């Protein structure tokens, strides 16, 4: 694979999954981690990614980023518009982080009265702009890469909540492998949210459907609803429907 092809692949993976690990990219492309690190350094110098210890982040982790700058922005807005239809007045709603969750926060109807509980600082800032939303931020140690609070205290607080809805940002989903991610501490937070919520909704652009990552979050049948930008009857989504997941 030529350098230009390799870097284009890396950039796509960063934008798709928001965060990538050098070790994982090395395995996927079958080059040394030193080569990957050099590629990440070059891409970072060009302003295309954020290089961090062990890997890289999408530029979408910058605070103040607009919807038009987000990867697959139109698809994520479509998902957010579908997700909004599930929220009713008086609900307690748990959310993870991610650009689709932020898009959801931005389009909440002004008349909606609900309580949103989140571990994501960027999402909390968006909820705070809403005139009738109560915002609860789950505190603990801040994971600077993802701007999400993680750790034992955060998990304990989550487990004491009985949420009506949980909206999960999805890194990868596969009908057999389930939901997977690449950050151990974020996975533990997601597991706690799933365990304590009456209904779990996965928000996922279709490009992440039928993909897997290193760490398992849950089985597909642990979620109640899967929302993508595709039509619910799309062929790609039928394996998930057969697992008993409602498709929106």
CA distance 161 to 12: 36
Per-residue pLDDT of the chain (248 residues; tens, 9 = 90+): 788 999 999 998 888 888 888 998 998 899 999 999 999 999 999 988 889 888 998 887 655 556 567 889 999 999 999 999 999 999 999 999 889 999 999 999 999 999 999 999 999 999 999 999 999 999 889 887 778 999 999 999 999 999 999 999 999 999 999 999 989 999 999 999 999 999 999 999 999 999 999 999 999 999 999 999 999 999 999 999 999 999 99
Q: In the Cβ-directed half-sphere of 104, how many Cα atoms lie within 13 Å?
A: 30
What is the pTM for the complete model shown?
A: 0.90
DSSP state of 120: B
Give the tens place of pLDDT for each residue, 13-57: 888 888 888 998 998 899 999 999 999 999 999 988 889 888 998
Q: Which domains does the chain have, with CATH numbers?
A: 3-61 (1.10.10.10), 67-247 (3.40.50.10470)
Q: What is the C-alpha separation between 189 and 149, in angstroms, rounded? A: 9
């Amino acid at each position: 694979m030529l350098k230009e092809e390799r870097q284009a692949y890396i950039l796509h993976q960063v934008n798709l999954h928001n965060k990538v690990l050098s070790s994982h990219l090395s395995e996927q492309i079958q080059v040394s981690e030193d080569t990957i690190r050099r590629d990440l350094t070059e891409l970072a110098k060009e302003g295309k990614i954020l290089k961090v210890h062990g890997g890289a982040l999408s530029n979408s982790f910058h605070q103040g980023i607009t919807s038009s700058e987000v990867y697959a922005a139109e698809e994520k807005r479509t998902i957010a518009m579908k997700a909004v239809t599930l929220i009713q007045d008086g609900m307690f709603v748990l959310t993870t982080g991610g650009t689709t969750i932020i898009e959801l926060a931005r389009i909440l109807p002004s008349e909606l009265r609900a309580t949103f509980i989140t571990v994501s600082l960027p999402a909390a800032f968006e909820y705070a702009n809403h005139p009738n939303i109560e915002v609860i931020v789950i505190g603990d140690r801040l994971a600077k890469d993802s701007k999400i609070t993680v750790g034992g205290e955060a998990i304990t607080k989550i487990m004491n909540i009985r949420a009506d809805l949980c909206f999960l940002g999805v890194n990868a989903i596969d009908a057999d492998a389930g939901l997977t991610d690449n950050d151990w501490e974020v996975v533990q937070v997601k597991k706690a949210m799933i365990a304590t919520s009456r209904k779990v909704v996965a928000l996922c652009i279709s490009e992440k459907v039928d993909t897997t990552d290193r760490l398992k979050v849950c089985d597909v049948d642990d979620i109640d609803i899967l929302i993508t930008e595709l039509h619910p009857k799309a062929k790609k989504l039928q394996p998930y429907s057969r697992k008993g997941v409602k498709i929106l």
